[in-house]
């Protein structure tokens, strides 16, 4: 697996064999970031169920201000730390101001489940420009939990976006609280569903 574009372009990323962690394919990541385009620059990016950290690292490579990696699988946490270290990406503390330019391009790791992490980030008054979530495809509850929490919280910035990666057979709701699905992109057996706050859609 490699970083696709940006300052870390073509740099290798480690991942695990087997299905414990299922990284987003290079092709799907490329599709995702082609859609997001230059909006990633200077963005606050949250990578839920981060696995190897490939999506959040891609965001940093393309100029994101900070990427917050959320993962509760010990092997995943170790992978994220190793991949960040191999690229020389600094880890910032939770108390650092996300708007402080001194911490541009830094990473933060939250080693907890997605629901707890979203509540924690909301408490910290983080305003995320992008939240990407790629739960294990078999974890049916995770999709609803993420949609419910983000649909009722103020974590997303006014023009922020939630992107859920899921199996093509899974049907997600068009509306979830304040969130409205605005785009669906299919690629092979995987789908990217894009949500905006309804007032910003």
The answer to whether residue 11 is domain-embedded is no
Tokens of 104: 């541009």
Kindly report the CATH number assigned to the domain that includes residue 179. Answer: 3.40.50.150
The answer to whether residue 13 is domain-embedded is no
pLDDT of residue 103: 38
The answer to whether residue 146 is domain-embedded is yes
Tokens of 188: 């092979």
What's the pLDDT tens digit per position in 11-60?
A: 999 987 654 445 667 889 999 999 999 999 999 999 999 999 999 999 99
Indicate the pTM of the whole model: 0.90
The boundaries of the domain holding residue 96 are: 40-200
Contact 30, 23 (CB under 8 A): no
**How many domains does the chain contain in total?**
1
The answer to whether residue 157 is domain-embedded is yes
What's the pLDDT tens digit per position in 182-193?
A: 999 998 889 999
pLDDT of residue 98: 46
């Amino acid at each position: 697996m490699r970083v696709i574009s940006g300052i870390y372009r073509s740099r290798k990323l480690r991942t695990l064999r087997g299905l414990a962690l299922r990284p987003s394919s290079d092709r799907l990541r490329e599709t995702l970031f082609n859609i997001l385009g230059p909006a990633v620059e200077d963005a606050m990016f949250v990578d839920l169920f981060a696995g190897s950290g490939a999506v959040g690292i891609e965001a940093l490579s393309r100029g994101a201000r900070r990427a917050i990696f959320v993962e509760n699988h010990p092997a995943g946490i170790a992978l994220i730390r190793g991949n960040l270290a191999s690229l020389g990406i600094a880890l910032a503390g939770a108390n650092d101001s996300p708007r402080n330019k001194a911490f541009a391009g830094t990473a933060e790791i939250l080693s907890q489940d997605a629901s707890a992490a979203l509540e924690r980030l909301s408490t910290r008054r983080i305003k995320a420009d992008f939240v990407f979530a790629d739960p294990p495809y078999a974890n049916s509850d995770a999709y609803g939990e993420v949609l419910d929490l983000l649909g009722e919280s103020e974590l997303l910035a006014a023009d922020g976006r939630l992107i859920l990666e899921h199996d093509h057979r899974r049907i997600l709701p068009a509306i979830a609280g304040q969130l409205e699905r605005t785009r669906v992109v299919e690629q092979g057996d995987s789908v990217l569903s894009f949500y905006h706050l309804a007032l910003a859609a």
